[in-house]
Amino acid sequence: MTQKTPSNNSLVGVTMGTALFGAIVGGTAAAAKGIRQVKDGSATKEEVAVNVAREAGTTAVAAGAAAAVVGALGFGPILSTLGIAAVATGTKYAMDSLVAPKTPATATAGKKHAPLTPAPKKTAAQKTAPKKAAAKKTTAKKTAAKKTTTKKAAPKKTAKPKATSKKTTTPKAKPETPNTDKK
């Protein structure tokens, strides 16, 4: 079996069609993201329009390049799919590096990583600028009143008389007092 290689006319047509499709997909994805940014107030309409054009262009170039390379090599369906993914990813990465926005990328909330662009060099005056002292807060001291708690005395338990057998005891004789009666 021999594989057919595409003619130049069909390769150009496929490349242009794929580039157009890439531009549509990249532009709509950037537009959807941009709409949310405008609603949130994190970007202006002009910034979003520039970003949509940039994404559409770079995605078009990446898709077109991938279709041209894989189409010229004439791979089978599985290798063509892998080749398109690899070439398009590499091309998109390279294009994004070349056509990067002028402002440095900001980190998303919660994620900390190295900046994508180097920080500007500080001058000698900026390096040694004294730090401003934070204003001292004056707050009224709250005095906590001591809470005195009095513990109630526990009720005293009285001993119950023990139930014992009755013993016969003779009452003690009262001491006799001298009789002082006169008759």
Report the pLDDT value the prediction gives residue 74, as an integer from 0 to 100.
Answer: 84
Residue-wise pLDDT tens digits, 64-93: 999 999 988 888 889 999 999 999 999 999
What is the average pLDDT score of the chain? 76
Q: How far apart are CA 50 and CA 53, in angstroms?
A: 5
- Read off the pLDDT of each residue in 99-124 and give the average, rounded to a whole number: 61
With pLDDT > 90 as the criterion, what percentage of the chain qualifies?
40
Report the pLDDT value the prediction gives residue 1, as an integer from 0 to 100.
Answer: 46
Q: Among all chains, which residue has been given the structure tokens 């926005």? A: 101
DSSP type of residue 3: P
Q: How far apart are CA 95 and CA 66, in angstroms?
A: 13
Residue 113 has pLDDT above 60, yes or no: no
Q: How far apart are CA 84 and CA 18, in angstroms?
A: 11
What element of type H or E holds 57? helix 45-73
Residue 141 has pLDDT above 90, yes or no: no
Question: pLDDT-based confidence at 157, cuts 50/70/90?
Answer: low
Q: How far apart are CA 160 and CA 183, in angstroms?
A: 50
- Read off the pLDDT of each residue in 142-162 and give the average, rounded to a whole number: 61
